[in-house]
Structure 1
Amino acid sequence: MSVRHPLFARLYPLMARAMERGGMAERRQALLTGLTGEVIEVGAGDGHNFAHYPPTVTHVVAVEPEPRLRALAEGAATRAPVPVKVVDGLAEHLPVEDSSADAVVVSLVLCSVRDQHTALREFRRVLKPGGQFRFLEHVRADTLGLARVQRALDATVWPRIAGGCHTGRDTVTTIERSGFAIEHLDRFRFPDARTPTSFHVLGTAVARH
């Protein structure tokens, strides 16, 4: 199930560290605050979230398909404040049993999955009744001009250089159309400048039944 993006896998840890210093660490903290029990983190990357998990989390299964990033995540797991098991797998086909997670967590992942609807259906499958879906994603711009720039980037160079990432997906709408009810949503820009990649959301959703 591995997905190989060798250039991106080398660049991402450098970008992630810069983002952490620029304020993303606080957003990751907010993403994970209040979580309890068994958590599945999808698209764990190099494990930057691990340090922010609260002690109320009993175990994290961290799914990462890119081999180089997965190896880095395994190293980060040894330093995490909670037990973390790093495994190979895709968002669209999680190696996890039905109704086994108290929460599913993604950060900067739904921009790059091949099929958002399939991934979100998997998240619903593995969540326990009442379980939470926590997401931190960059999304479509709020102006037509920048949205057009995003579409141009996504149709040409951006996915090739950024590990399959798409800058302009309407992820919030897709989450709602995939059977989730959003309970909390914070829209923000990171960095604060208005660029094609600066529009972000941080939210919590639960599956509708």
Structure 2
Amino acid sequence: MPDLSQFQNPRFARMYERVSVESDRFGASEHRRRLLAGLSGRVVEIGAGNGLNFAHYPPAVREVVAIEPEDRLRALAEREAGRVAGRVAGRAALPVRVLAGHGEELPVEDDGFDAAVVSLVLCSVPHQAVALAEVRRVLRAGGELRFFEHVRSAHRGVALVQHVVTPLWRRFGGGCRLNRDTGRAIAASGLVVEEMERFSFKALPSSPALPHILGRARNPAA
């Protein structure tokens, strides 16, 4: 069992459990559906949270291995995996294995997956470059990364505000950083970005609209 003590944040986990469900009602669920559309084969989901992506995996996916470091969220993901097993419309039972682990040291084999999924998680991993190197390690050559992340704004004034508020936001938001240029980090990792849509999204009516990216990148052959 890896040492996951630095990732434990029960107060944030309780808040995230409520907010993520509410956010799905205001459009996040549709973004999850678009994120996962067309996937097939074996998929590793990094930072699975409470498992809200599970119900959106398409029929061609034969297995999901979901990695989550936070104990409360992982327990919720395990419960959600049991709930959706065999109940995803139009498909046979979807095997979902939920494992304890974190994005910088994935507890899975090299070259073992057709796709990797990150959904609102690269904002909070301690080191994006390390986590993305792990993505490349576990993806087969030609495998793809699907990503849905909030990012630093392209507008200088907004980006400056994000930079100023990030230390406080990070403290209460489970390590989340508003000022990361995640699209650039993905490209710098050696993954080949094939599609990236930028858009503004309000997770809740009372929350600020944040810039997001949604897209896919390919792990090139060696």
Q: TM-score, normalised by structure 2?
A: 0.90
* Cα displacement string for residues 123-167 of structure 1 (whole angstroms, at most 9, x for unaligned residues): 00000111010000000012111111111112x211110000001
Equivalences for 1:8-27 in 2 at 5 Å?
A: 8-27=12-31
User: Could you tell me which residue of structure 2 aligns to residue 174 of structure 1?
Assistant: 185
Q: 1:185 aligns with which of 172, 179, 196?
A: 196
Paired letter, 1:178: S
Which of 108, 111, 122 is 1:96 aligned to?
Answer: 108
**Corresponding position: 1:135 with 2:139:** no
Secondary structure in 2 aligned to 1:131? strand
Aligned partner of 1:52 in structure 2 is 56
Residue 95 of structure 1 aligns with an amino acid whose one-letter code is: P
- What secondary structure does 2:39 align onto? coil
Decide which moves more: 77-86 or 107-116. Answer: 77-86
What is the aligned counterpart of 2:137 among 125, 134, 142? 125
Whole-Å separation in 2 of the counterparts to 1:196 and 1:165: 15
Query: Which portions of structure 1, spanning 4 or more consecutive aligned residues, are displaced by more than 4 angstroms?
Result: none
Deviation at 1:196, TM superposition (A): 6.3
**C-alpha displacement of 1:197:** 5.8
Q: Which amino acid aligns with 1:183?
A: E
Of 141, 165, 175, the residue aligned with 1:164 is: 175
Give percent identity, aligned residues only: 50
Q: Distance in 2 between matches of 1:36 and 1:24?
A: 22
The answer as to whether partners of 1:64 and 1:88 remain within 8 angstroms in 2 is yes
RMSD over aligned CA atoms reads 1.4
Q: Structure 2: which 5+ runs fail to align? A: 89-93
- Other structure's SS at 2:101 match: coil
SS at match of 1:125: helix
What SS does the aligned partner of 2:35 have? helix
Which 5+ residue runs of structure 1 have no aligned equivalent? none
Aligned to 1:74: 78
Contact 1:167 1:197 in 2 (8 A): no
Residue 72 of structure 2 aligns to which amino acid in structure 1?
A: R
TM-score (structure 1 length as normaliser): 0.96
Residue 17 of structure 1: CA displacement?
1.0
